Amino acid sequence: MKKINRLDKRFLEQFLSTPLVRDKLLKIQEEIGIETLSRACAWCKKTVAEDEPVYMLPLSSKIDLSNLHGLYIPLTLFSGEILIALVPTKDSDAWKNGKHLMLMACCEECLEQMETALKNDIQTFAYMDEASKR
């Protein structure tokens, strides 16, 4: 696992903890709509129907995301690919169990591809936990 540069971590934390960042993300979320965001596969971006099963891939973040509870945030991979992840609310079981980011996949194939991509990438600030079907 790669170690995060201490200066980068501090910078990112300061940036992510500002009210401006929260407001901006909230605005984007309202524009796109929570319905759309919550049903979109983080990998292929397909919209999943309400009654279809989805897979959840939780990540633990080394960066403090507590300013971003309940918000969808973009994770940019080195490849340029953007994954949309949810920061669980403060009182959710996910957050209490150290799951700071939740990625949703529409199918096993997307889940596997996302896991592989993340293994070589996002570890700089987050690490993966076991995926679960919901």
102-to-5, 24, 58 alpha-carbon distances in Å: 24, 20, 5
Cβ atoms within 10 Å, residue 29: 17
- Find the shortest distance in angstroms from Cβ 104 to Zn ion: 9
When asked if residue 110 is in the footprint of Zn ion (CB under 5 A), the reply is yes
Q: Which position has the token pair 């679960």?
A: 132
Interface mask toward Zn ion for 31-50; x: CB under 5 A: ----------x-xx-x----
- In the set 106, 118, 122, 126, which binds Zn ion (CB under 5 A)? 106
When asked if residue 82 is in the footprint of Zn ion (CB under 5 A), the reply is no
When asked if residue 52 is in the footprint of Zn ion (CB under 5 A), the reply is no
Cβ atoms 133, 55 nearer than 8 A: yes
